[in-house]
Structure 1
Amino acid sequence: MSRSYKGDVTPAECWSALDSDEPAFLVDVRTSAEWNFVGFPLAPAGRPQPLFAEWQTYPSMSIDGSFAPRVAEAIKASGGSETSPVFFLCRSGARSMASASALTDLGFANCFNVLDGFEGPPDEEGHRGQIAGWKAAGLPWRQK
């Protein structure tokens, strides 16, 4: 599978970009159920907070055809543009790659996938969030 987005970054690289002077955006593409029950990332203080946009709609998990235009509009409404860095985050990486490609196809030049997502792969006991990803990297997050 070829990718059309700019590249992959670690959660720490994403955090560093979000904390820089350049406007950068984090888009959490997981489902509302995941945000509510698993938790969600926070952005550095004084920076734009993450955008929450389901790539696939729970429970059918059908891809939201209006995803890219809605995210593009939200980024522009928050002061971003087609050249702003945009980082996509899901549970473990697959949905964020697809959504980064979708926004790239819409003309955004700097879309990135956050490697290992919010929770990363399961550990030897089947638990996520322990060995890789946003949570395991010790980056700020919250659970409702």
Structure 2
Amino acid sequence: MSYAGDVTPAEAYAAATGAEGALLVDVRTRAEWTYVGVPELAGAGRDVAFVEWSSFPEGRVNERFVEQVRAAGAVPGTPVYLICRSGVRSVAAARALTAAGLGPAYNVLEGFEGPHDTEGHRTVSGWKNAGLPWRQG
């Protein structure tokens, strides 16, 4: 594995709101933040960093991703937890941060919405479905 590992949404929330000063980075697109919702850490006096891994609708990887995550407060040794919709883009983002010497970088399993249920809806798992704080973007 080329990044620190995978964690559940609950583990990421605990770390991002805990004493270790971890950074939660939502790597989804602006459209997802706006229309689907975003993780919320305000109750713990923390902010989520919003840095697109790829653009919508082009799907082009953000060449300034590492630089933008640094600007959001990531420094070597600070744990970074990366979340996307379902836990795929966040793996690529964790690998990129690790390669750049940031982190330890963790992928949030299941992402913000999780996989589809039998009817094609995202109601099975993920940050939202785990009952963790979130708000409409």
TM-score bin, normalised by smaller chain:
over 0.9
RMSD: 1.2
Structure 2: segments with no counterpart, 5+ residues? none
CA distance in 1, matches of 2:132, 2:44: 16
What is the percentage of aligned positions where both structures have the same residue? 50
> Which segment is superposed worse, 17-26 or 113-122?
17-26
- For 1:45-64, what aligned pairs fall within 5 Å after superposition? 45-64=43-62
Correspondence for 1:106 among 96, 100, 103: 100
Find the residue that maps to 1:8 and give its secondary structure.
strand
TM-score, normalisation: structure 1: 0.90
Give the number of equivalent residue pairs: 137
- For 1:1-144, what aligned pairs fall within 5 Å after superposition? 3-43=1-41, 45-76=43-74, 81-128=75-122, 130-144=123-137
Structure 1: segments with no counterpart, 5+ residues? none
Find the residue that maps to 2:107 and give its secondary structure.
strand
Deviation at residue 44 of structure 1 after TM alignment: 5.2
CA distance in 2, matches of 1:119, 1:105: 27
Equivalent pair of 1:8/1:112 in contact (CA under 8 Å): yes
Deviation at residue 59 of structure 1 after TM alignment: 1.1
Find the residue that maps to 1:15 and give its secondary structure.
helix
CA distance in 1, matches of 2:104, 2:45: 18
Deviation at residue 18 of structure 1 after TM alignment: 1.4
